[in-house]
Amino acid sequence: MQRLRAAISLANVVVIGAQWGDEGKGKITDLLSRSADVVVRYQGGVNAGHTIVVDGKVLKLHLIPSGILYPETICLIGSGTVIDPKVMLQELDMLLENDIDISGLQLASTAHVTMPYHRLLDQAMEKRRGSQKIGTTGRGIGPTYADKSQRNGIRVIDLLDEKRLRERLPQQISEKNELLQKIYNVEALDPEEVIREYLDYGERLKPHVVECTKAIHQAARNRKNILFEGAQGTLLDLDHGTFPYVTSSNPVSGGACIGAGVGPTLIDRVIGVAKAYTTRVGEGPFPTELQGSINDQLCDRGGEFGTTTGRRRRCGWFDGVIGRYAVEVNGLDCLAITKLDVLDELDEIQVCVAYELNGEEIEHFPSSAEDFARCKPIFKNLKGWQCSTAHCRKLEDLPSKAMDYLRFLADLMEVPIAIVSLGASRDQTIVIEDPIHGPKRALLSS
């Protein structure tokens, strides 16, 4: 543990997904949380999720940062998130049932709340889109952020004040009922029933509610190590992803400043998490997507089913074009590569190094979804290692061809690899003190 703390001296770090989400951020965040004093979730809602395996026990979290597994770590759900109180309380109950201390959990009073009408609208709108559906989780995240942008959302602080909630919520429900009934033919909600239910949620959450920015800046003044945890991934960013097949918030590293309420000067480094291949859930272009037996093999060996929805993920080869894009828009200092072991049985592995678009070779990510859909991957073939890596605990344990693969990825993306994950368990991880290739930067040691 002492060696790990020395290798991963945190300062203030943002951990982001460098692909379309589902990269294994939960495990990497759990690993880094050992050295963190504060872990901040800065965006997204219950549309995200991560699975952590501790002592053979599988824990699935959607809102609560994985740092909750460490009793001395403060876990803060920031203002940029949207909160489904029912799901959050279910997670808290699950943690208590597993004898996990939740006293360190803090919830921003200014986080917006997902209401029942948000879920109903999300599902109804997605159904109405038909063949043009986006692939949302149906958890009400988009409509919650829409109400936030329109300045008529309900915040956590409103659940703690019955008078305020009774002043604001009936009008919201009346307007949403009109939409639900007249446009989507969905049964109306009972305002009084919703008010009573959410006041009860507020009462249960009240012990955890804090002023977000005050808590974070107090920790910074006390020179605490702060870990900012993003949900989803770079290519699902509302502004910088594969629009319109994106989420409703900003998973990129810059989103940490907005969602947590800090300036960029507080951030010391940014770590990106990427799978050794690529996956995507939902609709939208996916240039390196595989079909047939190799897709099935990656999906089955990688357990590629969504934590939140259970949907089977689409699998493809590693895409270096979107990888380089993620390095640029996030300002990545280094990478954590996960699920390398999923490739163990392959005799040949392909990596996308560029695209062909309209007969021309391009190395950049196109901003047009239509152009992106027409991109054909240009592959580099590499030899597989065809032996198990699950037992490897240091670089020299890895087969030479696995090392060649990691070096190729680091050079392609022009950023060093500092962590390699080889399975779901905590101990199936290599923390690299001398990162693999890439520019020489101060990375995981202060």
Specify whether 50 is catalytic.
Answer: yes
> Which member of 22, 84, 158, 319 is catalytic?
22
Q: Are 118 and 189 in contact (CB under 8 A)?
A: no
**Other residues' Cβ atoms within 10 Å of the Cβ of residue 244:** 11
Residue 301 CB partners (closer than 8 Å, separation 6+): 341, 342, 345
**Other residues' Cβ atoms within 10 Å of the Cβ of residue 256:** 32
Q: Are 27 and 336 in contact (CB under 8 A)?
A: no
CA gyration radius, the chain = 22
* CA 165 to chain CA centroid, nearest Å: 31
Rounded Cα gap, residues 175 and 32, in angstroms: 44
The label of the residue with tokens 């894009």 reads 325
Q: Hey, which residues does 383 pair with through a beta bridge?
A: 348
In DSSP notation, 33-71 reads HTT-SEEEE-SB-TT--EEEEETTEEEEESSS-GGGGST
* Angle at alpha carbon of residue 239, lines to 85 and 227, rounded to 5°: 55
> Which member of 30, 37, 50, 319 is catalytic?
50
Cis peptide before 244 (omega within 30 of 0): yes
Rounded Cα gap, residues 276 and 402, in angstroms: 11
Q: Report the half-sphere exposure of 433 (CA within 13 A, side-chain side).
A: 8
* CA 226 to chain CA centroid, nearest Å: 17
The label of the residue with tokens 């699975």 reads 51
**Both structure tokens of 231:** 């949900």
DSSP H or E segment with residue 399: none
Specify whether 30 is catalytic.
Answer: no
Active site residues: 22, 50
